[in-house]
Amino acid sequence: MAKHMEREIENLKKRILSLGAVVEDIVQKSARSIKTRDAGMAQDVIDFDIEIDQTEVVVEEECLKILALHQPVASDLRFIVAVLKINNDLERIGDLAVNIAERAVFLASQKQFKPIIFFDFEEMARKTQSMLKRSLDALVNADTELAREVCAADDEVDAMNREMYLQVQNVIKAHPEQAESLIHMLSASRHLERIADHATNIAEDVIYMIEGEIVRHRTEDYRKKDEKK
C-alpha cells in the first residue's frame, strides 16, 4: 500500500509540474502578444484555456483519490493539500493569461500609440514571469528560501501596477483619443498583478508543504528579511 501511494504521489507531482510549465508558457505568450500586438499568438493562448481547465480537474480528482484510498498523514498529507491549492492557483493564472491575451487582440486592431512618457509593461511582465518561475522552481526543489524571496517580491509588482494606474490617468488627459487602448493596457497590468499574487500563493503553499507552517498574511516578515540582505 505504501509503495502504491508513493507511486501515485510521484505521478501527481509530475502532473502539477507539467501544468505549471504549460501555464508559465502561456503567461509568457500573453505578455509577448501585448508587446508585439500579435493577435494570432493571443488567440492561441485563448484557445489553450480549455486544456488547462481539463488538466486542473484531473489533478484535483487524483488528489481526492489519494486522500480517499490511502489517508496520507504528515508530509504526504501536506503535499496533497498544497497540490490542491497550487492546482487552483495555476488554473486562475491561466484564466488571467487569457484575459491579457484578450486585451492583446483588441490592441492589435488599434493604431499603435507611443506617448512621450509611458509605463514599461514589458518590465512588469518580466518581473511577474520571474515570480511565477521561481515559485515553481521552489516547488520542484523544495526550496523554502526561494519561496520566501517570491513572497517578498510581490510588493514590487504591486507598486508597478499602482504606477501604471497613475501614468494612465495622466496620459489619458493628454491623449484622450487613446483612452480605450490605454484602459486595455491598464487592465492587462492589473491581470499581471493578480498573476503575481497567485505566484505568491504558490510560494506560500510550498513553505507550508515543507515546513508545515502557514505563512499567509505575513508579508511584513518577508519585507524585513529582504531589507536585511
User: DSSP for 67-135?
Assistant: HHHH---HHHHHHHHHHHHHHHHHHHHHHHHHHHHHHHHHHHTS-----SS---HHHHHHHHHHHHHHH
What's the confidence (pLDDT) of residue 221?
60
The C-alpha R_g of the chain, in whole angstroms, comes to 19
CATH tag, 2-228: 1.20.58.220
- Grid coordinates representing 8 are 501515485
Tell me the pLDDT tens digit for each residue of 81-133.
Answer: 999 999 999 999 999 999 999 999 999 998 776 654 456 888 999 999 999 99
pLDDT (average), residues 37-44 = 96
Q: How far apart are CA 98 and CA 152, in angstroms?
A: 26
Query: How far apart are alpha carbons 201 and 7 in whole angstroms?
Result: 27
**Nearest by Cα to 195 from 145, 161, 147, 146:** 161
Locate 202 and state its grid cell: 504558490
Predicted confidence at residue 117, as pLDDT, reads: 45
Q: What is the pTM of this model?
A: 0.91
Residue with cell 491549492: 85
Query: How far does the chain reach from its first CA to its final CA, in angstroms?
Result: 46
Residue 219 has what pLDDT?
56
pLDDT for residue 116: 44
| Dihedral in degrees, nearest 10, Cα atoms 177, 40, 160, 203 | 160
Q: Look at residue 4 in the predicted model and tell me its pLDDT.
A: 85
Torsion (CA) 54, 59, 61, 67 in degrees, nearest 10: -170
Residue at 203: amino acid letter = A
pLDDT digits (tens, 9 = 90+) for 181-207: 889 999 999 999 999 999 999 999 999
